[in-house]
Structure 1
Amino acid sequence: MKNFALTSALVLALAACGESQKAEEATAPYAMNTEALKGHITTLASDEFGGRAPGSPGEELTVQYLETAFRDAGLKPANGDSYTQAVPLVSIETQGAPEMHIKGTSGELKLQYRADHVVWTRREQNDSEVHESDMVFVGYGINAPERGWNDYEGLDVKGKTVVIMVNDPGFATQDPELFAGNTMTYYGRWDYKFDEAARQGAAAAIIIHDTKPAAYGWMTVDSSWTGPQFGLVREDKGTGFSEAEAWITNESAHKLFELAGLDLDALTVAAAKPGFKAVPMNLEFSSYFRSDVNHLNSRNVAGYVEGTEAPDELFIYMAHWDHIGTDPTQEGDGIYNGALDNATGTGGLIELARAYASGPAPKRSILFLAVTAEEQGLLGSAYYAEHPLFELGKTVGGINMDGLNFYGPTKDVTVIGLGNSELDDYLEQSAKGQDRVLTADQEPEKGYFYRSDHFELSKKGVPMLYPNSGYEHREKGRSYVDALMAEYLDKHYHSPSDEYRDDWDLTGAIEDLELYYGTGRLLVDSRKWPNWREGTEFKNTRDTQRAEVGK
């Protein structure tokens, strides 16, 4: 990595750029461009910003950069006279290298931290201990009454340790009639599984890692669930969560089941069939670890362009500004720069803000929202959804940007969750102007719809779009894009090597930003209220929400 002399000189340079931009805007709207976008990315993903972890010096630099950019673009502060919204967080970091001890009638098994497992707690406590807790294999750990599925049926797991498969039975069987077939449902997500285990009273919950159904390798688990783990501050200080939560490697899981005298492969097949019953493992789980607990206020950054006719109605553009930060224990390069994830989306947010602020005044307002702590569980967006700066019932919809195109223009636009809402129609109309088509997520089994910030607003009823880079390069075809994305996911995702590269082609990102601009423009200059489509899990919430407006 290169080191950059940044801090005050950078902000002064950005301010100067902003003043120059304002002078040019007297005659013409701002044109989003690759050089400006590159400047945002290389700054935000520089070593100086240290990986942009919430609560770190990198947050201070990032927030300062965004505030300056929004102010210079001409946005109004969205939180009274402030561009920031405080997000109270708790940081809980496992200390040392705690072991897992599993004892059975035929022997014992010790699992090593990071090599075999990662363990943490979401409770605000310095000492966590699970001692000789009976272990139970609960299959996929799902309780879904609307689907007639309950892995905990007839089971009392209070004080016990549950062992859980990742993803859901639909993916395992590829049966389109089971859950959503190849498409991951929310029941397949790790956060659902830990929360459900806590609701069931489990003392500890352990998820078995498997790369394909998890959609990421062990390296991602290791980097994401070690170091400070952030959560929203809770009145109960997290006592409603399990004492310990963990992932174990697939290899360690096989050893665990062998110790129990069980066949993991056979049970994996059985767990995906309706009527599966949990299996006592006749093992006892123990682990003790200390945690460093700290409280901090992180910040969302928000500015808006006020509408001329319906200023209380608005459209949202959002992106998360945070990444993983710096791992001081790692040999060599320990800075997780997060260039693609998500300096690109944050830079795109600034470019869209400049374009809107310099263009024709919109009839509805437009909010530009840079949220914190996405990497720690969509926390900044969850906080905004609970404490919105604008009424959610009057929020028309929004677009979330999490990783922009880095390989050039494409013939298509990928939509994660295509078919979920009527927002697709507006995106499609805008795409036609670029001679492009919409395509569905090509990897629905990875559950991307539930893995970024739009999901928190979706749960509250607000129709949200999550478009992504296309697959079909205009000149080099599908195989070119597939190879680049495979390399990124294999080598750079959530890794210190996620850095800006000089061979990136940002012309595709600009084309996408123009598409997002055009889509939003169709809505902010209209009186339309797009909704979720029938059958989606969010439509009833939205219908109720809209009915309450004005009461």
Structure 2
Amino acid sequence: MRKILLGLLTLVALNTQAQKSELAEKYGNSITVEGLMDQLNILASDALEGRETGERGQRMAAALLMDHFQKLGLKAPVKQGDQMSYYQNVPLVSSKTKSSYLKIGKTKYENFNKNVFVGTGVTAGEMSGEVIFVGNGAPERYESVDVKGKFVLMIGDNNYRATRKASKIAAANGAKALIAVRTETDEILEELMTSYRRYLEAGRMTVDTGIEQNDFLGMYFLAPSLVKEILGKSYEKLSPIAFSEDNAGFEKIKKGSVSISIEKEVKKITSENVMGYLEGSDLKDELVVVTSHYDHLGRRGDKIFNGADDDGSGTAGVMEMAEVFAMAKADGNGPRRSMLFLAFTGEEKGLLGSEYYADNPVFPLENTVTNLNMDMIGRNDDENYNDKDYVCLVGSDKLSTELHEISEEANSTYTDLELNYVYNDENHPEQIYYRSDHWNFAKNGIPVIFYTTGSHDDYHQETDTVEKIEKEVYLKRTRLVFYTAWELVNRDKRPALNEQ
């Protein structure tokens, strides 16, 4: 009798699982090429003017997203006064360098001439200061020197993230500015300045925290040939000292001096994260967040940067997934966990919308189970993966191996894409793990999966247009995110975090 009972229970369990799979497939199949392209054709149209953060086209896109979430019956989750809104207002400040120079002795080097300034600081006219050598800029280099109110000069490698970290160390020790030599030759610096000049001249946007600018001005990237003019020793002689294991030799390096001048144009901007909330059932206090960024590069003269793949593709995916999960709930098959469908502003300006959300979460971060983030899922990397049904996944195993397994199983069960993990390597030169909005969840200990496909020739060009979207594989990628989300919102337990 006991064996019969166990057999019946097993059969019931298997049937229930089969029904769940059929249910997931039913709604997954409701995501169609036609539905995705209907949304994308509007998002990436000339009418939205490239959706640049803080500009009219971005606000039009925000209104489109709000209208979509509202029509689906998703809740407006953001409290604004005594009203609830689909918008989370994101206060930003834009600063553009009007003029900058660095003077060594009587020789003045204007911005982009053997130096380039990166930062938000300003000076009231010309400012002179002592320059102290701090090797590779590591924390221990500051142990025996007082750099408060002074300029510091470091020699590093050509790694922007490492140099940014060094600038924070310099600021924490009271330095006024960091002069960083991050290239081995003047020619390499020239190439970098040429590549980034348009970006730097367009200005830098940051979240407006309401806190006054601190005393740290920013960074000057310096040509190696100028090091001797400041410190009396050449780059070639100082470089091995910079990377020595201790501070040996530092005392023999004389202090130098420079003068700098920085003039900025500053304005305040308000932009919007747009979100719709779908309440769950028995596990409604826990949350799965599905994200994309809906901003892009705007327009430059007559050229409109439509951003069909980057990231109209991910945003249309969020919109379609919201529609399908809302349909499932209307049918009585709603998720057990709650869901937040969230489109970020300001990603192209430095992950600003997601940074603001992580610092000002609408729902507690500790209740956020997972973030599934889509950015550029509509095209193939033609150089490496032409005509392949693939997707690159980043971060799935970083914080939760169980999340990685859920993702793999969803793919093998439903979509059968080639899952590529080339960008999952934290040492990959493109540093993708840190370069889209999922990072602001991951850095707070929330498991993430980032879905992307790598770059292509139209990345950040006006040629990133709708007709180049590869529709069938775009559909498969969106469905994979859906099936992964379906499992995450309906399983009994949230994915376990890896032991630290």
- TM-score range for the pair, normalised by the shorter chain length: 0.7 to 0.9
| 1:339 to 1:154, Cα distance in 2 relative to 1, 3 A | farther
| Two-structure CA RMSD over aligned residues (Å) | 3.4
Task: Give the conservation status (yes or no) of the 8 Å contact 2:157–2:182.
Answer: no
Percent of aligned pairs sharing the same letter? 28
Helix, strand or coil: the match of 2:349?
Answer: coil
1:430 is aligned to 410
**Does the 8 Å CA contact 1:138/1:152 hold for their aligned counterparts?**
yes
Once residues 234 and 396 of structure 2 are traced to their aligned partners in structure 1, the CA distance between those partners, rounded to angstroms, is: 36
Query: Which segments of 5 or more consecutive residues in structure 2 lack a partner in the other structure?
Result: 1-25, 381-386
1:464 partner letter: V
Q: Determine the C-alpha separation between the residues in 1 that align with 2:248 and 2:327.
A: 61
Once residues 365 and 86 of structure 2 are traced to their aligned partners in structure 1, the CA distance between those partners, rounded to angstroms, is 19
Which range moved further: 355-364 or 29-38?
A: 29-38
The CA distance in 2 between the partners of 1:521 and 1:276, in whole Å, is 55
Q: Deviations over 1:231-282 (max 9, x none)?
A: 222343122x512x2453xxx5122224344443564455445336696574
Contact 2:154 2:242 in 1 (8 A): no
How far is 1:194 from its partner? 3.0
- Pick closer, same or farther for the CA change 1:266–1:520 going to 2, 3 Å: farther
CA distance in 1 between counterparts of 2:288 and 2:294 reads 19
Q: Residue 256 of structure 1 corresponds to which residue in structure 2?
A: 226
Q: Structure 1 residues 296, 504: CA separation in 2 closer, same or farther (over 3 Å shift)?
A: closer
> Is contact 1:53-1:323 (8 Å) kept?
yes
Q: Are 2:246 and 1:275 equivalent residues in the alignment?
A: yes
Alpha-carbon distance change, 87 to 411 in structure 1, aligned in 2, over 3 angstroms: closer
Q: Which moved more, 1:386-395 or 1:229-238?
A: 229-238
- Hey, what does 1:90 align to over in structure 2? 93
Q: Could you tell me which of 414, 421, 439 is aligned with 1:439?
A: 421
CA shift, 1:202, in A, is: 1.6
SS at 1:55's partner residue?
coil
CA distance 1:297–1:418, shift in 2 (3 Å): same
Partner residue, 2:494: 529
Aligned mates of 1:236, 1:451 — CA distance in 2: 25
Whether contact under 8 Å (2:154, 2:181) holds in the other structure is yes
From 310, 321, 325, the equivalent of 1:356 is 325
Residues 501 and 138 (structure 1), Cα distance of their counterparts in 2 relative to 1, 3 Å cut? farther
Does structure 2 retain, via aligned residues, the 8 Å contact 1:41–1:500? Answer: no
In 2, Cα distance between equivalents of 1:211 and 1:82: 52
Q: Distance in 2 between matches of 1:417 and 1:129?
A: 50
1:345 maps to 2:314: yes
Instruction: Report the CA distance between 1:89 and its aligned residue.
Output: 1.8
Please point out which of 399, 405, 426 is paired with 1:420: 399
Indicate conservation of the 8 Å contact 1:85/1:299, yes or no.
yes
Partner of 2:144: 154
Cα distance in structure 2, aligned partners of 1:42 and 1:165: 48
Q: How does 1:57-456 map to 2 (within 5 A)?
A: 57-80=56-79, 81-95=84-98, 97-103=99-105, 109-114=107-112, 116-119=114-117, 121-123=119-121, 127-128=123-124, 131-143=127-139, 150-164=140-154, 188-208=161-181, 210=183, 217-219=192-194, 221-239=196-214, 241-243=215-217, 245-248=218-221, 253-260=223-230, 261-265=232-236, 267-268=238-239, 270-275=241-246, 282-326=255-299, 333=303, 335-359=304-328, 360-407=333-380, 409-411=388-390, 413-416=392-395, 418-422=397-401, 423-433=403-413, 434-435=415-416, 436-437=418-419, 439-441=421-423, 444-456=428-440
Partners of 1:532 and 1:266 in 2: CA distance: 47
Aligned counterparts of 1:504 and 1:517: Cα–Cα separation in 2: 19
Tell me the CA shift for residue 524 of structure 1. 0.3
Aligned with 2:104: secondary structure?
strand
Q: Shift of residue 63 of structure 1?
A: 0.9
Matches of residues 18-57 of structure 1 in structure 2 within 5 Å?
31-57=30-56
2:421 counterpart SS class: strand
Q: In the TM superposition, what is the alpha-carbon distance from 1:525 to its structure 2 partner?
A: 0.2
Indicate the residue corresponding to 2:9 in structure 1.
Answer: none
Task: Report runs of 4+ in structure 1 exceeding 6 Å deviation.
Answer: 27-30, 211-214
Counterpart code for 1:85: Q
Q: Distance in 1 between matches of 2:236 and 2:37?
A: 47
Q: Which amino acid aligns with 2:490?
A: D
Q: Which amino acid aligns with 2:475?
A: I
Q: Which has the higher helix share?
A: 2
Change (3 A) 1:221 1:36: farther
Q: Which has the larger radius of gyration?
A: 2
Question: Which letter maps to 1:517?
Answer: F
Going from structure 1 to structure 2, the CA distance change for 1:201 and 1:501 (only over 3 Å counts) comes to same
Q: Assess, with a 3 A threshold, how the Cα gap between structure 1 residues 58 and 448 changes in structure 2: closer, same or farther.
A: same
The aligned length equals: 450
Counterpart of 1:520 in structure 2 is 485
Residue 156 of structure 1 aligns to which amino acid in structure 2?
D
- Alpha-carbon contact 1:401-1:468 (below 8 Å) kept: yes
In 1, the alpha carbon distance for the partners of 2:87 and 2:249 equals 47
Q: Displacement of 1:317 after TM fit?
A: 0.8
**Distance in structure 2 (CA, Å) of the matches to 1:262 and 1:63:** 55
Q: Which residue of 2 aligns with 1:540?
A: none
Aligned equivalents of 1:404 and 1:247: distance in 2?
36
Structure-2 residue corresponding to 1:183:
none
> Quick one: which amino acid aligns to residue 242 of structure 1?
F
Q: Which residue of 2 aligns with 1:3?
A: none
The code of the aligned residue for 2:101 comes to E
Distance in 2 between the 1:272 and 1:298 partners? 43
Amino acid at match of 2:196: V
Residue pair 2:374, 2:451 contacting (<8 A) in 1 also: yes
With 427-436 and 41-50 compared, the bigger mean Cα shift is at 41-50
**Matched residue, 1:538:** none
Q: Counterpart of 1:403 in structure 2: which amino acid? A: M
Structure 1 distance, partners of 2:430, 2:243, is 17
Is the CA contact 2:136–2:154 (under 8 Å) kept in the aligned structure 1? yes
- Cα deviation code 1:89-140 (max 9, x no counterpart): 2222222x4332233xxxx5543334644435435x6x55562223344344
Q: How many angstroms apart in 2 are the aligned matches of 1:269 and 1:63?
A: 52
Shift of 1:157: 1.9
Contact 1:117 1:246 in 2 (8 A): no
Distance change >3 Å, CA 411–CA 340, structure 1 → 2: closer
Say if 1:77 and 1:303, in contact at 8 Å, map to a contact too: yes
- Kindly tell me: are residues 94 and 387 of structure 1, through their superposed partners in 2, closer, same or farther at Cα, counting changes over 3 Å? same
For 2:488, give the aligned amino acid.
Answer: L
**Matches of 1:506 and 1:189, distance apart in 2:** 38
Distance in 2 separating the partners of 1:165 and 1:320:
35
Equivalent position of 2:7 in the other structure: none
Deviations 1:184-220 (A, max 9, x none): xxx9445433332221212112444559999x95455
TM-score (norm 1): 0.72
Looking at structure 1, the residues matched to 254 and 38 of structure 2 have their Cα atoms a distance apart, in angstroms, of: 55
- Partner SS for 1:396: strand
Unaligned 5+ segments in structure 1 are 1-26, 144-149, 172-186, 471-484, 536-551
